[in-house]
């Protein structure tokens, strides 16, 4: 079972990776066979190569993550509210998002899901 410190550190590493524009840093928190569903309902990105490609594309928008409140931890899961600031479709946007991470025994993220929809996007 991952420790609370490992899970909290993974979230902060994820946020820091976006601040640095470092997709490899973001991908490093994930297990080799992890799944990213961002947003919920989108085609899942499965495995390290697909996840790295996804974060490379995401960071190309200039996206930065801004935590909104504490990270919530329960069992081997973390949930966190944040705002994503990015440049999309020719304009600056803010998206209100809740992300969840499910962790494996080694403390790597095995499943990431992002919860947001059109009503959470602000121009």
Cα 99 to chain centroid distance, Å, stands at 6
> Of the listed 14, 33, 89, 104, which one is catalytic?
14
- Provide the 3-class DSSP secondary structure of residue 61: coil
Of residues 103, 99, 123, 119, the one with CA closest to residue 111: 103
Q: DSSP character for 70?
A: P
Annotation says 14 is catalytic: yes
**Of the candidates 46, 50, 49, 42, the residue with the CA atom closest to the CA atom of residue 34:** 46
Alpha-carbon dihedral 107, 14, 97, 72, rounded to 10 degrees: 40
Selected catalytic residue, list 33, 38, 92, 115? 38
Catalytic positions are 14, 38
């Amino acid at each position: 079972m991952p420790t609370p410190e490992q899970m909290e550190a993974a979230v902060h590493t994820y946020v820091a990776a976006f601040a640095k524009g470092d997709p490899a840093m973001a991908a490093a928190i994930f297990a080799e066979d992890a799944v990213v569903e961002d947003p919920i309902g989108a085609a899942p990105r499965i495995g390290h190569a697909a996840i790295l490609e996804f974060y490379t594309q995401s960071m190309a928008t200039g996206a930065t993550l801004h935590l909104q409140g504490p990270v919530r931890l329960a069992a081997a899961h973390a949930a966190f509210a944040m705002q994503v600031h990015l440049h999309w479709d020719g304009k600056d946007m803010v998206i209100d998002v809740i992300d969840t991470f499910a962790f494996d025994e080694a403390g790597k993220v095995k499943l990431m899901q992002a919860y947001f929809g059109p009503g959470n996007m602000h121009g």
